[in-house]
């Protein structure tokens, strides 16, 4: 009988038989002190990303186990993509356990934002979904902002129990856990992070001194986010890595913006007004007249208007008609991409986004 190993990078069970299946490592790798699967090895050493089959059923099962435990649940959300960060039916999964909401990636926001207001907004949004966190912690796992306070909050609410870390893919769960390991774990032990969804394949246990553990669960994939539909390379462009520089567009009616070739924004009716985009700094925005938009789209989507390099990789565009009421400032939100802050004027806008990608409006957050 052979000893069972798990990959230190993603938690998957190591197997040495089938190279095409998750968890493969050559048997020579088992002699190493730190065992990683071939996939994690490639991500780490060559920045090479090999997508794996995802089984949502297995992930849900993992989550449902939490309801039967006595633990603290930490839900990690991406504050830049809150709409795309929620887990459906979360109450069922966590049962009676307290929930700490970790709003990650605060470094993406301009330094001038009012954090109190942002927190209120996160709390209100959570409440609408029936989630009632014991605390909301703002943090940046990548930059370490408020990391200490976050760890203290976890320690405070844990009360000697296990900690489950849950979240959808790409919210920065692995980055957070890596930072935990770096600060508190043995050296050299880290989890594979990548900008490609679904890197963590199985739960990872991080033992704590009191015999309890931090359990990092695999991320749930949500296909209603723009970020899920681009290639790993394109994701580097679409997903903001550094602080967002909002861009202001003064538009007349009958003008169009293309966000790469991913989304089209037609300002149909309304007085001249400004729209402020909160999107990855690396995403190319093309401005044109509405009457020219179709032609430009046909000719240049996939070349100048990129990503996507291949528009056929995306679902067909679906139109979302948006009526701004002229009463309060509102944001038009595209899950997994960003948002457009609109003014207080009345306006009619068509947003074209791939079918299935969530498009919505909310009261302005900045």
Nearer to ligand GDP, 43 or 322 (CB): 43
CB of 107 to ligand GDP, least distance (A): 5
Which of 175, 255, 256, 306: binder of ligand GDP (CB under 6 A)?
175
Q: 156 vs 71, 96, 133, 160, CA distance in Å?
A: 13, 18, 14, 9
Size of the site for ligand GDP (CB under 6 A): 23
Start-end of H helices in the chain: 38-46, 56-65, 90-94, 115-128, 147-158, 173-184, 232-238, 290-300
Please give the Cα distance from 198 to 313 (Å, whole number).
Answer: 19
Q: Which is nearer to ligand GDP, 216 or 266 (CB)?
A: 216
Interface region with ligand GDP, contact rule CB under 6 A, candidates 188-196, 271-279, 293-301, 324-332: 188-196
Which one of residues 43, 83, 87, 171 is an interface residue with ligand GDP (CB under 6 A)?
A: 171
Q: Give the footprint of ligand GDP on residues 194-213 (CB under 6 A).
A: 194-195, 199-200
Q: Which 285-344 positions form the footprint of ligand GDP (CB under 6 A)?
A: none
**Is residue 141 involved in binding ligand GDP (CB under 6 A)?**
yes
Among 71, 85, 125, 140, binds ligand GDP (CB under 6 A): 140
Copy the structure tokens of residue 275.
């729209």
The DSSP code sequence of 129-162 is: TT---SEEEE--TTT-TTHHHHHHHHHHHHTT-E
Of the residues 11, 22, 167, 260, which one makes contact with ligand GDP according to CB under 6 A: 167
To ligand GDP, the closest distance from the beta carbon of 111 in angstroms equals 14
CB of 229 to ligand GDP, least distance (A): 16
Which residues, 6+ apart, have CB-to-CB distance to 241 below 8 Å? 142, 280
Alpha-carbon gap, residue 101 to 94, rounded angstroms: 13
């Amino acid at each position: 009988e052979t000893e069972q190993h798990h990959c230190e990078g993603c938690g998957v069970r190591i197997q040495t038989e089938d190279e095409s299946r998750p968890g493969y490592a050559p048997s020579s790798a088992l002699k190493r002190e730190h065992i990683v699967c071939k996939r994690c090895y490639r991500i780490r050493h060559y920045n090479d990303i090999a997508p794996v089959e995802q089984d949502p059923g297995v992930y849900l099962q993992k989550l449902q186990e939490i309801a039967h435990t006595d633990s603290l649940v930490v839900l990690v959300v991406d504050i830049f993509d809150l709409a795309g960060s929620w887990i459906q039916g979360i109450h069922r999964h966590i049962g009676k356990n307290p929930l700490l909401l970790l709003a990650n990636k605060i470094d993406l926001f301009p330094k001038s934002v009012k954090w109190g207001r942002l927190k209120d907004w996160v709390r209100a949004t959570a409440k609408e979904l029936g989630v009632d966190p014991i605390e909301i912690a703002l943090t940046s796992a990548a930059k370490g902002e408020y990391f200490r306070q976050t760890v203290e909050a976890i320690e405070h609410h844990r009360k000697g129990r296990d900690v489950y870390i849950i979240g959808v893919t790409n919210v920065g769960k692995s980055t957070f856990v890596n930072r935990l390991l770096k600060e508190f774990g043995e050296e050299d032990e880290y989890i594979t992070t990548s900008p490609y969804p679904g890197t963590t394949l199985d739960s990872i246990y991080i033992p704590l001194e009191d015999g309890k553990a931090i359990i990092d669960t695999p991320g749930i994939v949500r296909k209603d986010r723009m970020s899920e539909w681009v290639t790993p390379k394109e994701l580097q462009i679409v997903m903001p890595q550094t602080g967002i520089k909002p861009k202001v567009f003064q538009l007349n009616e009958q003008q169009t913006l293309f966000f790469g070739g991913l989304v089209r924004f037609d300002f149909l009716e309304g007085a001249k007004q400004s729209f402020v985009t909160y999107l990855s700094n690396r995403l190319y925005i093309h401005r044109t007249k509405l009457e020219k938009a179709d032609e430009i789209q046909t000719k240049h989507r996939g070349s100048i208007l990129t990503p996507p390099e291949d528009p056929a990789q995306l679902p067909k565009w679906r139109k979302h008609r948006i009526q701004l009421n002229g009463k309060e400032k509102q944001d038009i939100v595209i899950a997994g991409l960003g948002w457009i802050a609109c003014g207080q004027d009345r306006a009619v806008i068509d947003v074209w986004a791939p079918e299935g990608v969530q498009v919505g409006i909310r009261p302005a957050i900045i």
